Structure 1
């Protein structure tokens, strides 16, 4: 990976690491515009101030836009949401393995490397 590519990945991860950023993208990933209030309910637990800050950041990054109907993902945002949806099968498999591992007593797991 080139230094430029590495920088781009770091910039994107920094944006997405902000609290509730991924939840906003996920909430808008169905393609339907949402008003601020509906988006706040969809994201869950976010204060109006924090949601407003995330929306400003995501709009500046051209991942989210505001239309007369509400907030929606841009084409870049929708592309990102599609790529993030690929994490779901991994997450399901991972959670299943975590649950199975938690059910096995530590003494029966064998030595850790």
Structure 2
């Protein structure tokens, strides 16, 4: 699947709006988890795979290529890390993470069936 780019049709939208391209990219399996794990600090390929338990090497390789091409992740001496763009994206997601914690507290506990 090609990298979703602003100005081009993407999954679920033909408008080409940048937000739709970003949502397509972030909606791909493991993309958000990878970015969230890199927010915790740089990681080699194997470390990142271990942090994302259950992630296959082929999917990780594909996602890392997409996230690097989208300028959200860089590869340096210490391994993969968030780029300046990736860090800014995560900083903008932190209020959503805080909201999710509050939301989770308000939900009734899961029933034991």
TM-score by length of 2: 0.79
CA distance, structure 2, for counterparts of residue 39 and residue 85 of structure 1: 21
Q: Deviations over 1:66-98 (max 9, x none)?
A: 112100000000000111111122101111222
The higher radius of gyration belongs to: 1
SS at match of 1:45: coil
Counterpart residue number, 1:110: none
The number of equivalent residue pairs is 98
Counterpart residue number, 1:97: 106
Structure with greater contact order relative to length (CA < 8 Å, sep ≥ 6): 1
Structure with the higher helix share, 1 or 2? 1
User: Any gaps of 5 or more consecutive residues in structure 1?
Assistant: 104-113
Question: Aligned match of 1:17 in 3, 18, 27?
Answer: 27
More divergent stretch after superposition (42-51 vs 88-97): 88-97
Runs of 4+ more than 3 Å apart: none
Counterpart residue number, 1:79: 88
RMSD: 1.9
